[in-house]
Structure 1
Amino acid sequence: MSRRSAVKNARTPKAPDASGIGPRQPCPCGSGKRYKACHGAEGGAVDIPVARPFEGLAAECELIALREFVPSGTAVLPLVGAEREVVLGTVLPMAAAALVRADGVAYVGLQVQTRSSDVSRDLARAVRWVLTAKPGDVLGVVGPDTDPGDQPERLQDLVDVDAAIEAVVHADFGWWMPEGSEPTGEVAVSLERANSAILPTERIGPAAYWVDAGERAHLRWVRPEPEEELLAALARLHARGELLLGEGSRYAGSFRAHGLLVPVWDLDRESHAREWTAAVEQLGTRLAAALASLADEPLTSDERRARDGLLGRQITIR
């Protein structure tokens, strides 16, 4: 082979493999490496972990909240072209992946054990299953063997990606049962156990939830912004003394879940959840202004120190 041909071939990009990901693209597992040096390498894992499974959905933040920390909640899934309404539930009886109640109401569970590393794909599998299931049918665990065909879908393929979801928080798990019916057997035991573990929770803003954890209450707020930008904006507010929600509040830190950051505030539990609603709205306004200012105003030295302090109060749960 001539030198010119060798150079030409070296510059020709390789086509994507069966996964549809080009070798020089970032690996979807979130490692920061190129696909060819990570899960696309010879002997790499076939089941690629997806770091941000709900990316591209307007409901991303609410889905993360319902999956990670809302104890009892439901939301109608904005399916496209489906004849049956499907309701997302945080937890289903016996931690089922999906079920159809005796009255025909179809549920898909969010807080479930899965057999793959893509939560979005597993949810799509459960949705496809429940669309054709009969009253009384239960899907215990979802995984690759649940696929209805050769082309696995993701949740983004089944819903209106621009549609928000209306999350409803419940005081208990009574919604498991059709109106007027009484639980029996394993369902009754599961219902009693689930109700006893509930932490009082209220939704006080978009993807913002007040939780009574016992000695203190908390605000957990799933934010859609890229982590680096959000941390910079939080640091700007912190340096100005504007990161609080008012008297009786303290910024506690943040955790990462499914690719997004969830800031957490400690709150005085003597105040009712609704008493914090206005403070959350005001903080949201200040945070939006801080985010907008980052384009023209780099962080000051004080703000950079504040950011370093916030970084020390982060954990990753998924």
Structure 2
Amino acid sequence: MAKRPAVEFVLRPFEGLPGEPDYVAMREVVPAATGTARTTKEHGARDVVVTTVLPAGWPALHRGDGTIMLALQTTAGSGDLSRDLADMLLLAMESPAGTPVTATRLPEPGPRLQDVLDLTVPFEVTVHEGFEFWRSEGVDLTPELSAVLDRMNETVIPTQRLTSVAAAYVARMGDKDFLRWSQPHDEQVFLDALARLHARRESGLGDGGALGRFIGAFRSCGILVPVWDLDQEASLEDLETAVAALGERLEAALAVDGPLDATERRARAGLVARQLTLR
């Protein structure tokens, strides 16, 4: 029996796509959101709604109104999430309108999202309070899917996307607010920059970190997502200002060329100790 061709493992599957950090955030930390994409001319120049999840965990859907939808929070199996998602997207496009792709499969080597999507189209994200975007206008969900929609809406974690920087999301989880900010930079370079700030006690938000303190980071899809524990009394406007200022400090630290000093190396070691890999 011929051996099935294997798909090579890719640590950073969304690299090269417009909005890579937002793709990672939508896969890992955002409950209900959609993003804009379009396939290349070779693949029909079709508009695609990239979303966090779909009903019943479907990986993709050719909705009754003709809309093509692709879910990011699905199980990947080949080792290259981009290849898996492209396979599901192409399956949905080939399916009749009103048909979901109901299960993932283990694809052989083939086109990835970077090959199927038009890379000149910006990935514009909209965060939703619930999953009403599943519905197509004039088409009712089945009673079973309506029940799923109601259950999902009840469990949505309130989330907002900041506008002052890219790919930064504030979420209220119980009695805590957190900022999770996906970073597009090389992990080691970013850790050096953050360590420079941390050593000077400038890694927090607001004056002296009054609006938020850095508490750690997790690694997913090959990039880092640092996390801040926020002051729940802080207004969104104040957070926007504080995050923008932190972004400027980070950009300045990223531009520094040269080794870390002893204090910065100790700060970096502490940062590394607070990392967690999700995927």
TM-score by length of 1: 0.80
Any conservation in 2 of the 1:202–1:273 contact (CA below 8 Å)?
A: no
Say whether 1:201 aligns with 2:162. no
Say whether 1:276 aligns with 2:215. no
User: Deviation of residue 158 (structure 1)?
Assistant: 1.2
What is the letter of the counterpart of residue 262 of structure 2? S
Say whether 1:154 aligns with 2:117. no
Query: Following the alignment from structure 1 to structure 2, what is the Cα–Cα distance between the partners of residues 94 and 306?
Result: 44
What is the letter of the counterpart of residue 72 of structure 2? L
Corresponding residue number in structure 2 for 1:224: 184
User: Deviation of residue 275 (structure 1)?
Assistant: 3.2
Say whether 1:314 aligns with 2:275. yes
Corresponding residue number in structure 2 for 1:263: 226
Say whether 1:240 aligns with 2:203. no
Any conservation in 2 of the 1:59–1:163 contact (CA below 8 Å)?
A: no
Say whether 1:189 aligns with 2:147. yes
Deviations 1:137-158 (A, max 9, x none): 010122246x7xxx61111111
Any conservation in 1 of the 2:181–2:226 contact (CA below 8 Å)?
A: yes
Query: Following the alignment from structure 2 to structure 1, what is the Cα–Cα distance between the partners of residues 252 and 268?
Result: 17
Any conservation in 2 of the 1:210–1:218 contact (CA below 8 Å)?
A: yes
Structure 2, unmatched stretches of 5+, are none
Higher relative contact order (CA 8 A, sep 6+): 2
Q: How many residues align?
A: 269
Query: Following the alignment from structure 2 to structure 1, what is the Cα–Cα distance between the partners of residues 275 and 120?
Result: 30
Say whether 1:89 aligns with 2:47. no
Query: Following the alignment from structure 2 to structure 1, what is the Cα–Cα distance between the partners of residues 118 and 142?
Result: 37
User: Deviation of residue 47 (structure 1)?
Assistant: 4.2
Any conservation in 2 of the 1:72–1:169 contact (CA below 8 Å)?
A: yes
Deviations 1:255-303 (A, max 9, x none): 000100010000012334343111111111110000101x1x3211111
Any conservation in 2 of the 1:114–1:141 contact (CA below 8 Å)?
A: no
TM-score by length of 2: 0.90
Root-mean-square deviation (Å) = 1.9
Q: Of 274, 287, 290, which residue of structure 1 is paired with 2:253?
A: 290
Query: Following the alignment from structure 1 to structure 2, what is the Cα–Cα distance between the partners of residues 163 and 136?
Result: 26
Any conservation in 1 of the 2:37–2:118 contact (CA below 8 Å)?
A: no
What is the letter of the counterpart of residue 277 of structure 2? T
Question: Alignment partner of 1:77: what SS?
Answer: strand
Deviations 1:80-130 (A, max 9, x none): 212431111100010101112222221111111233221100111122122
Say whether 1:300 aligns with 2:253. no
Corresponding residue number in structure 2 for 1:135: 97
Q: Of 109, 118, 131, which residue of structure 2 is paired with 1:173?
A: 131
Query: Where does 1:45-60 land on structure 2 (aligned, <5 Å)?
Result: 46-60=6-20
My pick for the range that moved more, 192-201 or 229-238, is 192-201
Identity %: 42
User: Deviation of residue 183 (structure 1)?
Assistant: 3.1
Query: Following the alignment from structure 2 to structure 1, what is the Cα–Cα distance between the partners of residues 16 and 48?
Result: 20
Query: Following the alignment from structure 2 to structure 1, what is the Cα–Cα distance between the partners of residues 126 and 235?
Result: 18
Corresponding residue number in structure 2 for 1:66: 26
